[in-house]
């Protein structure tokens, strides 16, 4: 197993929510010599410098400043997202009935709900506590991740739901409540759990932004050990590929930018999502930090290129009828170019040519994906970022199975291949 794959498995295991994913991304960048820039302070930028910016604790933009200012070369960008479908805990719904303590959840994004039942689930997210861990007026936010199994959402026995194997729709309010305990005596077992984990008084735990996630760690699978099985491959695998490639660049001609958005799974319409101002703000401030004006910033955008990286659908032999035979990407056969005539993907013939050239330059195989003409097409951050900023964009991704399941599968060779292509992109 290569170092890249070992690092990916650790990245997946330590990134149960976008908060922890951003934290892992920042830690990796810091080890590689990237310096933090704060949005509420002036950007001091030097040619050849390596920097990152974090917004809302859950989105990150990192860049290696080019030797040539952006108005001459544009920005070379690659973007992915750190969030994945999850079950968000509703803290005020903790109740104990007939000795069973359970809590309600809100479904975040579009998971395959049935895969979340009868699984050992852990808890992670962000908590607001009173500053200094004593009563006071000020508060601080703390990331929390408790990886041990803490909850389960059990199915009804087949004897009580005889039709479940013929298709069953779970009621999100009634059927998805997570059981936390059958013996707790605490007034609020969830809040007590968090307080004990953080070492604070339970009364000093204020607001909790918590999610359930699968306790099982990422692993390698297959006779040839050529696949990865994990939660949150969509889209942490693409985020990791961008991170690895960007960190390997020491000096670049054109400024290299890695973008790690949040909230793609719910439409990106947040301040830390692709519909927010984050990327535009940072790119403009890079120009301002180099003494360039608005006109030169707009020139830089026009000369820029964006690789939007989000996982793609691999051909599934059990569901062959779901694919257009001419556009059915194979696992471990190279990165996938995603195309849609209604521009659910931002790919154009011009942007395709540029990406294909990168693949050819590195002897990397590539594939193409289009949905069946009688099926709707999903979308991602590519069309949003490109339309907002006027940047030529291609949508790509590595092929995977069971997208949005609690356990997804992708190919090891594809991950290594995309890192190689992105390194060439930023050469």
Res 167: pLDDT: 87
CA pair distance 397, 260, nearest whole angstrom: 15
| Beta strand spans in 8-158 (E) | 35-36, 50-55, 59-64, 75-81, 86-89, 95-97, 100-103, 105-108, 121-130, 139-151
In the predicted model, is pLDDT for residue 222 greater than 60? yes
- pTM for the model stands at 0.95
Mean per-residue pLDDT, 92-97:
93
* pLDDT category of residue 56 using cuts at 50, 70 and 90: very high
Judged against a pLDDT cut of 60, whether residue 137 lies above it is answered with no
Residues in the chain: 427
Residue 136: the pLDDT is 52
pLDDT at 250: 85
Averaged over 55-76, what is the pLDDT?
96
pLDDT digits (tens, 9 = 90+) for 192-207: 999 999 999 999 999 9
CATH of range 3-84+231-425; options 1.10.1240.10, 3.90.1150.10, 3.40.630.10, 1.20.1330.10: 3.40.630.10
- Residue 187 pLDDT level (bands cut at 50, 70, 90): confident
Helical ranges in 32-150 per DSSP H: 70-73
Q: What are the structure tokens assigned to 323, written together?
A: 């694919």
- Residues contacting 283, CB < 8 A, separation 6+: 70, 75, 257, 297, 300, 301, 389
Helix (H) or strand (E) holding 30: helix 18-31
pLDDT digits (tens, 9 = 90+) for 272-306: 999 999 999 999 999 999 999 999 999 999 999 99
CA 63-61-377 angle, to 5 degrees, is 115
Tell me, which fold does domain 86-214 have in CATH?
Aminopeptidase i, Domain 2 (2.30.250)
Q: Is the pLDDT of residue 407 over 80?
A: yes
At 130, phi and psi to the nearest 5?
Answer: -65, 130
> Percent of the chain beyond pLDDT 90?
91
- Using one digit for the tens of pLDDT, what is the confidence trace for 122-134? 999 999 998 754 4
Q: Which helix (H) or strand (E) holds 219?
A: strand 219-221
For residue 235, cis peptide bond before it (omega within 30 degrees of 0):
yes
Question: Given the DSSP bridges, would you call strands 408-411 and 399-401 parallel, antiparallel or unpaired?
Answer: antiparallel
Q: Are 89 and 103 in contact (CB under 8 A)?
A: yes
DSSP secondary-structure letter at 156?
P
The answer, yes or no, to whether residue 77 has pLDDT greater than 60, is yes
Percentage of residues in the chain with pLDDT exceeding 70?
99
User: pLDDT: is 38 or 1 the higher one?
Assistant: 38
Residues 6+ apart with CB under 8 A from 258: 61, 62, 63, 77, 78, 79, 242, 243, 245, 246
**pLDDT digits 0-9 by tens, 310-364:** 999 999 999 999 999 999 999 999 999 999 999 999 999 999 999 999 999 999 9
d(CA 14, CA 24): 7
- Chain-wide mean pLDDT for the chain? 95
Instruction: Establish whether domains 3-84+231-425 and 86-214 are of one fold.
Output: no
Cα 140 → chain centroid: 25
Looking at residue 301, what is its pLDDT? 97
Ordered by start, the domain boundaries in the chain are 3-84+231-425, 86-214
Is the distance from CB of 329 to CB of 367 less than 8 angstroms?
Answer: yes
The burial of 112, by beta-carbon neighbours within 10 Å (0-12 exposed, 13-18 middle, 19 or more buried), is given as: middle
- As a whole number of angstroms, the distance between CA 94 and CA 80 comes to 35
């Amino acid at each position: 197993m290569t170092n890249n794959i070992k690092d990916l498995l650790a990245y997946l295991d330590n990134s149960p929510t976008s908060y922890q994913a951003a934290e892992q991304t920042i830690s990796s960048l810091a080890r590689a010599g990237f310096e933090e820039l704060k949005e509420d302070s002036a950007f001091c930028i030097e040619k050849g410098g390596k920097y990152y910016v974090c917004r809302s604790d859950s989105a990150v933009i990192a860049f290696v400043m080019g030797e040539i200012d952006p108005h001459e070369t544009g920005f070379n960008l690659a973007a992915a997202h750190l969030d994945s479908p999850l079950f968000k805990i509703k803290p005020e719904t903790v109740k104990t009935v007939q000795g069973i303590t359970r809590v309600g959840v809100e479904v975040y994004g579009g998971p395959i709900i049935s895969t979340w039942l009868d699984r050992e689930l852990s808890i992670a997210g962000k908590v607001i506590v009173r500053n200094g861990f004593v009563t006071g007026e000020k508060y601080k936010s703390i990331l929390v991740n408790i990886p041990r199994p803490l909850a389960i959402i059990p199915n009804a026995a087949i004897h009580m739901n005889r039709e479940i194997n013929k298709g069953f729709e779970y009621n999100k309010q009634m059927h998805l409540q997570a059981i936390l305990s059958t013996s707790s005596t605490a007034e609020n077992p969830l809040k007590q759990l968090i307080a004990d984990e953080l070492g604070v008084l339970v009364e000093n735990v204020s607001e909790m932004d918590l999610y359930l996630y699968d306790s099982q760690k990422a692993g390698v699978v297959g006779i040839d050990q050529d696949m990865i099985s994990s939660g949150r491959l969509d889209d942490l695998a693409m985020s990791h590929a961008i991170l690895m490639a960007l960190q390997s660049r020491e000096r670049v001609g054109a400024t290299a930018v890695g973008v790690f958005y949040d909230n793609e799974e719910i439409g990106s319409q947040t301040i830390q999502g692709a519909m927010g101002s984050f990327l535009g703000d940072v790119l403009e401030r890079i120009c301002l930090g180099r003494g360039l004006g608005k006109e030169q910033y707009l020139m830089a955008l026009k000369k820029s290129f964006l690789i939007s990286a989000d996982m793609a659908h691999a051909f599934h032999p059990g569901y062959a009828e779901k694919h257009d035979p001419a556009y059915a990407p194979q696992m471990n056969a190279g990165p996938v170019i995603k195309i849609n005539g209604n521009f659910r993907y931002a790919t154009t013939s011009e942007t395709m040519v540029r990406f294909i050239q990168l693949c050819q330059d590195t002897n990397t195989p590539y594939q193409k994906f289009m949905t069946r003409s009688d099926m709707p097409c999903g979308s991602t951050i590519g069309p949003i970022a490109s339309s907002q900023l006027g940047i030529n964009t291609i949508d790509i991704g590595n092929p995977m199975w069971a997208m949005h399941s609690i356990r997804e599968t992708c190919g090891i060779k594809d991950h290594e291949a995309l890192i190689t292509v992105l390194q060439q992109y930023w050469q």
